[in-house]
Each structure stands twice: as C-alpha cells, then as structure tokens.
Amino acid sequence: MKIIHATPGMGAPMSEEELKNFLPTSKQNCRLATVEKDGDPNVHPVWYPYEPLHNKIYINNDSRKAMNIRRRDAVYFCIDDEAMPVKGVKGK
C-alpha cells in the first residue's frame, strides 16, 4: 500500500502512528476506484478491515472490480472522516 498526501495545503500528512490509529477506528467506507475496460473510472464504496501488523487494508471485492484490477493494475482509494478537522487516508 502506498499512502500519498493528495491534498497539499489541506492539513499536514498523517504520521505512521496517526494512520495506524485512524484506520481501525474510522466508521467510513473505503471508496475504491478502478479503471473500466473502456478507460472510464469505476468508483464504489466498500467495507474494509485494516490489519495493522502488516499495514494492510482488505476490501470486499466483486468480480467487476477484480477484472478491472487484473486488466489494469491501477487502483486508488480514499478513506476520510467527515468530522472537523477533516482527515483521511488516500493512496494508490
């Protein structure tokens, strides 16, 4: 998993410790984006458990997302919190 700071100027990036505290306590879905066969984006909310020992996010998958990932290994995800101050995790 590669974590990126996708919104410079919108707060400081989370530290590794903040990330490991945020992901298991977030009540939000993960929004997962894949690329369709025709090049269009496919974005869906998915449930996820976070496994902190290996720093992995596991997602519910369906055959369409799996086919998109097999065809083009490009995935983007976002898990954010709507409470102020806004914070979240984005990655690819």
Q: Among 89, 57, 61, 90, which Cα is nearest to 76's?
A: 90
Residue 34 belongs to what domain range?
3-91
Distances (CA, A) of 83 to 1, 6, 51, 59: 25, 19, 23, 23
As for how many domains the chain has, the answer is: 1
Closest CA to 26 of 4, 52, 63, 44: 52
What are the phi and psi torsion angles at 29 (to 5°)? -75, 160
Q: pLDDT (tens digit, 9 = 90+) per residue, 8-32?
A: 555 667 777 887 888 888 778 889 9
Q: Tokens 């995790």 correspond to what residue?
A: 89
Q: For the whole prediction, is pTM greater than 0.75?
A: no
Q: What is the pLDDT of residues 29-83, one digit of tens each?
A: 889 999 999 999 999 888 888 888 888 888 877 788 889 989 998 889 888 877 7
CATH code of the domain in which 68 resides: 2.30.110.10
